[in-house]
Amino acid sequence: MTDSKQFDVIIIGGSYAGLSAALALGRSLRSVLIIDAGEPCNRQTPHSQNFLTHDGDQPAEISNQAKQDVLAYETVQWHNGIAVSGEKTDKGFRVHTETGEEYTSTKLLLATGLKDVMPDIKGFKECWGITAIHCPYCHGYEFSNQKTALMANGERAIHLASLIKNLTSDLTILTNGKPDFTPEQVELLKQNNLAIINDNILELEHEQGYIRNVVFNNGKKIPFSAMYAAIPFVQYDIAGALGVEFTEHGHIKINAAQHTTVDGVYACGDNSNAMRSVANAVYAGNITGAMINKALADEKFFG
């Protein structure tokens, strides 16, 4: 392993996308620094699903093995901490960490993931990633044919309901307040025998993250085994501070080469793609590592 403050690439975020990019770059003999605080969004999830060769493994097992694989390449370094700021310089980028270290690089990769904004519902945070879930492909099979809730509204509820209905016939939509459906959407839900509850949710009663009941503010209590939830997210501050542009849905805007709107800054994983899964993050990281390596090679080769 090298010991330096100057790198070809600094990767902010060392989960699946960042590690995948680092692997491609390390194998291309690029000097890489990964900065990561060790708090992935799926840290509460008991098992990772729908990822070939690792279906059912614990997320930490996958990331620990990935980290071991990546750090076997001597040009790749790891900094355990938080990147608090990044700025463009004449020669590339300068990144500062929470504990005062300063590192520089030619290219910068944002693999930060996203920060989920938890609703003001007692017990929700403790259930998130366990039985309060976001993705039918990641979690749906494990809760198939079970009594399931979907906390969503409007078009988002329609989209998810069509996928979840394939997994269980016992599905109830919880709008958690005023419904936002067109008359046509209401009729569509009725045709599919989906109940809608508009009461505000007060609490998820659970045992170590496993939902037992959804409690409403009017005192009603309904048992469920799982609850899909379409909750908002925000980007980490460092992305906005670098000046990258975002899509209308809040993701970092990238082109086919995973390049952002700021020259030399790339992004991959959940922060720039709506498909939040381990498999997609690994794929995006692999592509991004190759694209960054090509950019570095072209700059040196062609001048």
In the 3-class helix/strand/coil scheme, how is 48-96 assigned residue by residue? CCCCCCCCCCCHHHHHHHHHHHHHCCCCEEEEECCEEEEEEECCEEEEE
- Rounded-to-10 torsion of CA 188, 191, 195, 200: 10
Q: What is the pLDDT of residues 189-217, one digit of tens each?
A: 999 999 999 999 999 999 999 999 999 99
Residue 88 pLDDT > 70: yes
User: Residue 40: is it exposed, middle or buried by C-beta count within 10 angstroms (0-12/13-18/19+)?
Assistant: buried
Residue 184 pLDDT > 50: yes
Residue range 124-229 in CATH 3.50.50.60: yes
Domain-wise residue ranges, the chain: 6-116+232-302, 124-229
Strands 226-229 and 132-133: parallel
d(CA 228, CA 56): 19
User: Residue 292: is it exposed, middle or buried by C-beta count within 10 angstroms (0-12/13-18/19+)?
Assistant: buried
User: Which residues pair with residue 85 across a beta bridge?
Assistant: 96
Q: What is the pLDDT of residues 138-176, one digit of tens each?
A: 999 999 999 999 999 999 999 999 999 999 999 999 999
Whole-model pTM above 0.85? yes
What was the pLDDT predicted at 42? 85
Where is pLDDT greater, at 41 or 253? 253
Strands 92-97 and 83-89: antiparallel
Grouping H, G, I as helix, E, B as strand and the rest as coil, residue 169 is coil
Measured in Å, how far apart are the chain's first and last C-alpha atoms?
29
Q: What is the pLDDT of residues 3-62, one digit of tens each?
A: 569 999 999 999 999 999 999 999 999 999 999 998 888 888 988 899 999 999 999 999
- CATH class name, domain 6-116+232-302: alpha beta
